[in-house]
Amino acid sequence: MSETLKNQKEHILKLLKEKSVMKQDVFRNTVASFEMVKKCVDEIAKELNAETQAIDKRIVVSTLETTSHATQLKVAGDMLEFFMHTNVFEFEKSHAMYRTGYVKQNEYNSYCGIINVYNFLADSFKFNRLNDLGYLVCRIFINREMKFFIEARGPIGVKYSSFSDAPLNQEQLHEIINDLIIYAITFDLFTPPIEQVREVSVNEIQEKVSSINLRTGKRLGYGTSASYDEDTNMYI
């Protein structure tokens, strides 16, 4: 074996030992975190539903695990969809994380799994309005040491804007999910401008739901703090 081939093999084995093992650790932690998310969502739904049914039986809080990587939390007219991405990501070198001592100490700390949280209208699922809009309201990043930070709108995004000092735990997730519920409930549905909805085809009316062009979203047609993300095709 030539010296070049020997060096290449050693380099490959080093990458597999360090980088590939690290990514497996990140994935394992992300899966464990998502299992905690599902457990918290179930607990919160049961607690809230017991209370809301005493207030008004029309207000339902429930959960539905759609796949092993996705679960839904329905809170009255809102639906929060928790979705775990199965890949591991690194940040661009311009990201603020690279200016932190934690990442400077070990660049592998910057690699993360992601749990996305979307806010939909519950009726979008109930009436199968496939063209309705959802909003990415939160991204939870988990690294190889089970430490996390959050990108989100509002106070929750400020509170968890840098990597945590300790590993993610169930109590923190409980607080995070409660904050997301509060955000979803206070993020109201606005009617779109009449210019956007004044035309409708006979076919759309006959289809009842008319989901092709009459799509619904909480901020459809209005200026808002949300902005469109072309990568995810979502408003964030």
Is the entire prediction scored with pTM above 0.85? Answer: no
The whole-number pLDDT of residue 222 equals 31
Q: How many Å apart are CA 79 and CA 119, to the nearest integer?
A: 6
The whole-number pLDDT of residue 200 equals 59
For residue 52, give Cα distances in angstroms to 43, 73, 77, 120: 14, 15, 13, 21
Shortest CA distance to 115 belongs to which of 139, 96, 150?
Answer: 139
Q: Answer for the pair 119, 78: CB distance below 8 angstroms, yes or no.
A: yes
Q: How many Å apart are CA 168 and CA 138, to the nearest integer?
A: 16
The whole-number pLDDT of residue 52 equals 92
Q: What is the mean pLDDT of each run of 10 residues along the chain (236 residues)?
A: 88 93 97 97 96 92 93 95 95 88 94 95 86 88 97 87 95 95 83 63 56 52 37 39
Q: Answer for the pair 44, 177: CB distance below 8 angstroms, yes or no.
A: yes
The whole-number pLDDT of residue 95 equals 87
The whole-number pLDDT of residue 45 equals 97
All residues at 6 or more sequence positions from 126 whose CB lies less than 8 Å from its CB, including other chains = none
Terminal C-alpha separation, the chain: 54
The whole-number pLDDT of residue 210 equals 45
